[in-house]
Every structure is written in structure tokens, then in C-alpha cells.
Structure 1
């Protein structure tokens, strides 16, 4: 299993709500609905970090992060090398500050608690 984590800051000039709305209603469906991409992704999860006016949680410097789970590195390569992925990358510039994006690829997970 391969997991790609992406950490995102919204594009300057966008409110947190505008960022979340675009990511949920425009960008997410581009991944979900594309026949050259969706079959190769096991899970795609968006985490929208809410503004914290009370100050009881430290700001991590990002507006959200995503998880893209793949069964193999080959599945990820199929996605990244597809023509459709280029359009998705271009769409990220509509709502993400690309200079602040951070990505991490994880190939090993250790489950510490599993109460299923």
C-alpha cells in the first residue's frame, strides 16, 4: 500500500470557505469521475482544517490535506503519467498556493490501535 499525503494552503485572495468549496465541489469530482484516474486510486480523502478562532488548537499552517491511497507504486505511476493528471495539476492553481504545497509519500503504515 502506498499513501500520498498532500498539504495545502489556499491561494491568496480566497477565503477558507471558497477554498473548501472549490476543493470539494470542483477539484474532488475531477479525480473521482475520471476513468483514467479513479480506477487506480483505492481511497482519496480530503481533510479540511477549520479555522480555529478560540485558539485552543495550534495552527499548522495549512488549510487542508489529502490522502491518496494506491495498491502499488505502479498504480500511482499510471495516474501521474496520465494526460488527465496534467489537467488536475493545472486545476490546483485555481485554489491552492502551489509555492506552499508539501507532499509526502508513505509506503509503510503501522496500525497501533484498530478497534474495528
Structure 2
């Protein structure tokens, strides 16, 4: 299992509400409604972040992050090579993300979790 994480900053000039609407309603829906995408994407989760004022350390500074789960790196590459991804999803990201200050492609090979079934590993 490969989990790709993206840490996002909204495009300058967008309010938090505008960002969340575009990201969740317009963009996120495209992932779950397209069979050519769900063929490769096992799970897609969006996390909306807000500053926590009672926390003793500095806010992480992102508006949200996402998890995209794939069976393999090859499946992730295959999804990103699809015409729909290149022609619709990638340009849509540029509408609401500050791409220069967002961070992409952090890989997490999940080792441990609390609750639910433990992930399977070959090592």
C-alpha cells in the first residue's frame, strides 16, 4: 500500500470557505465519481485544518492535507497519466491551490495504527 500525502495552502485571494468549497465539492467529487480514477485510487481523504489557538506550538500553516491511497507507486503513476487527470484534475488544482507553497509527494508506508484492522506488510 502506498499513501501519498499532500499539504495544501489555498491560492492567495481565496477565503477559507471558498477554498473548502472548491476543494471538497468541486474537486473532491471528481475523484469518487470517475471509474477511470477509482480503478487506481483505493481511498482519498481530505483533512481541513484550522489553527488551534490553545495548542502550545505554532500552527502548521496549511489549509488542509489529503491522503491518496494506492496499491502501488505504479498505480499512482498510471492514474496521473490518465487524460482525465491531466486535462481536468491537474488544471483544477491550479484554480484553488497555491502550488508554489503546497507540498506534495510525501510517501507513507503505514506501519501502525490505532483502531481498525492493522495494515498488512510484506516485511
CA contact under 8 A between 2:49 and 2:63: conserved in structure 1?
yes
**What is the alpha-carbon distance in structure 2 between the residues aligned to residue 69 and residue 115 of structure 1?**
18
In the alignment, is the contact (CA less than 8 A) between 2:5 and 2:108 conserved in 1? no
Contact kept, 8 Å, 1:2 with 1:105, in 2: the verdict is no
SS of corresponding position for 2:19: helix
Separation of aligned partners in 2, 1:80 and 1:12: 26
Find out whether 1:37 has 2:37 as its counterpart.
Answer: yes
CA offsets 1:31-84 (integer angstroms, 9 cap, x no match): 1112211221110000000244xx223311110000000011221121011111
Gapped runs of 5+ residues in structure 2? 117-123
Unaligned runs of 5+ in 1: none
Report deviation, 1:102: 0.5
Give the corresponding residue for 1:81. 81
| TM-score (ref. length: structure 1) | 0.88
Counterpart Cα distance in 2 of 1:38 and 1:12: 31
Aligned to 1:97: 98
Mapped to 1, the partners of 2:22 and 2:77 lie a distance apart of: 26
CA distances 1:6-35 after superposition (whole Å, capped 9, x unpaired): 011001111111101111100001111122
**Root-mean-square deviation over aligned CA pairs:** 1.5
Q: Distance in 2 between matches of 1:42 and 1:101?
A: 23
Calculate the TM-score normalised by the size of structure 2.
0.84
